[in-house]
Amino acid sequence: MCHQFLMLTLAILMVVYQIIKWLFPHDDPMPAPTPNLTTVAPTLEELTLIPVLLWHGMGDTCCFPFSLGHVSTIIKENTAGTYVHSLKIGGNFIDDYKSGFLTHPNKQLDYACQAIKNDTNLAKGYHAVGFSQGGQFLRALAQRCPDPPMRNLISIGGQHQGIFGLPDCPSLKRETCEYYRTLLNYGAYKPWVQKFLVQATYWHDPLNESAYRNKSTFLNDINLQTTETQPSQANYAKNLKKLNKFVMVKFLDDSIVQPKESSWFEFYKPGQDKELTPFNKSEIYNNVSVVL
């Protein structure tokens, strides 16, 4: 289990390194002047690199030196010291770790929204990179908490259409993972499970679509798939369209996200769990109120 987790971390770090080159195309924040042309000195704002916000996934924390702590270091070392805020949910690392399993996403999002508002380094905007479930949490943050503004969002192995299966649980004992899996398979939409287990809030049962739409307490809301539109959803699409870019990375051999195509907003057709609906033919794509 530990070996698999470390290999996944290494793969993520390789992806992050490539993403850095896309977000920050110049190693030097001040380009050299072109000879024989009149140059205008860049403003202080132009010289300031846009900060980065990170949100970890299930079984991780903000700052483990072998995971997001190392990601933060890579970003700083390759972008002339860009400011990085790696979200820590709760007052310490233990609370942060537990939050990935036991703190409802709505509560985490309220905490995260307040945290970024309190961070003056993010006041003029930031890039965001989310890992696993941190991907859809950051997407929800863009929808629900547009100030300060998120400039670009990169979701690495997120579950934007939810999961229908939990083959593996990074960093958890096998017995604990099996217990969570049992809860999801037999009672994901029971109120106490929705309240207790984070993964239940983005459990998407294609064999019981009506239960998902009526009883999910998170994913159906941010995907505008509730039975009735809620007033709080009014600005979700508008806020999401404020992003310059929304990049979604799918792992081809993902052993945690099921189906892995959920990372690209694809999911099973209702009523079965074999055939997938391509994104451009999905309800979310065709819903005029949601433009990704």
Query: Which among 99, 96, 159, 104 has a CA at the least distance from the CA of 130?
Result: 159
Residues 6+ positions from 34 with CB-CB distance below 8 Å: none
- What tens-digit pLDDT sequence spans the chain (292 residues)? 444 444 445 555 556 656 666 665 554 443 433 434 444 544 444 446 899 999 999 999 999 999 999 999 999 999 989 999 999 999 999 999 999 999 999 999 999 999 999 999 999 999 999 999 999 999 999 999 999 999 999 999 999 999 998 766 766 777 777 777 788 888 999 999 999 999 999 999 999 999 999 999 999 999 999 988 888 888 998 999 999 999 999 999 887 788 999 999 999 999 999 999 998 888 877 664 454 5
Beta strand 84-86 pairing with 267-268: unpaired
Domains of the chain, each with CATH number or no CATH: 48-166+234-286 (3.40.50.1820)
With contact defined as beta carbons under 8 Å apart, do 201 and 217 qualify? Answer: yes
pLDDT digits (tens, 9 = 90+) for 179-200: 777 888 889 999 999 999 999 9
N-to-C CA span, the chain = 35
Q: Sign of dihedral through CA atoms 37, 41, 42, 48? A: positive
Say if CB 180 and CB 273 are below 8 A apart: no
pLDDT tens digits, 228-266 = 888 888 899 899 999 999 999 999 988 778 899 999 999
Q: Which two tokens stand for residue 211?
A: 């239960």
